Amino acid sequence: MTIYSFWMFDRHCNCIYTREWTRSSPLVPSHSSHSSVSSTSSATTLPAGAIGTVNASNQNDSAKLLFGALFSLRNIANKLGTLPFNEDTSVTDPLAIHRKNSLKSFATGKYRAHFMETALGLYFCILSDPNVADLQIVLKDLYADVYVNHVVKNSASDVDFPAEEVIGNESFVRGVDQLITALPAFA
């Protein structure tokens, strides 16, 4: 079991953060001479010796395909559910949307996409091995403990990112790494 990557999309469909921990991610092909890497990307070495990248895949087709799949499956789940889904969900409880009909994860033969959407329209997605158990609690922790504390409460950081702008906040990157690499499924 392993975790391949973590992706964040804003309400404008822009990929605002990616973190890849392994090169064997089924969704993100290895970089070739035809791929472009954003100038905001960086390679980092993790304590376990694994090499990963930050914000290297934000503008490639994989990000667009992943967002499209999440968006489409989310809409299908909302329409097929038994409870009515209200797009005007109150923003006073940013996690209230999870008590509605919502997509939690989907799996293929090679990976599982764990998904969470906040009431403010942020999409959080972790790609993992298909045998990894539900990561909804981890996604909620990434939002409530890492994103809110290191981006929302940081007066020097934007909350609504312009197109092609990414989260480059070092404390946010460290927080994501600390939370994900501590999971038993990260091995």
pLDDT digit string, tens, across residues 62-81: 888 898 898 888 888 878 77
25 or 117, higher pLDDT: 117
Tens digit of each residue's pLDDT (9 = 90 or more) over 88-101: 555 555 555 555 56
* Structural domain boundaries, residue 133: 3-186
Tally of structural domains, the chain: 1
**What burial class does residue 148 get, using C-beta atoms within 10 Å of its C-beta: 0-12 exposed, 13-18 middle, 19+ buried?**
middle
Segment 151-156 long-range contacts (CB within 8 Å, at least 24 positions apart): none
Average pLDDT of span 108-128: 92
Q: What is the pLDDT of residue 75?
A: 86
- Give 144-172 as a DSSP string: IIIIIIIIIT-TTS-SSPPTT-----HHH
Mean pLDDT of 139-155: 92
| pLDDT score, position 92 | 56
Q: pLDDT tier at 130 (50, 70, 90 boundaries)?
A: very high
Average pLDDT, stretch 110-137?
92
pLDDT at 51: 64
Query: Between residues 1 and 185, which one has the greater pLDDT?
Result: 185
Residue 152: CATH number of its domain: 3.30.450.70
Longest distance between any two alpha carbons in the chain, whole Å: 48
Residue 82 is predicted with a pLDDT of: 57
Instruction: Quick: pLDDT tens for 8-64.
Output: 999 888 999 999 886 444 454 443 333 222 334 444 444 444 567 787 766 778 888
Residue with tokens 């064997």: 24
**Residue type at 34 in one-letter notation:** H
The pLDDT assigned to 45 comes to: 46
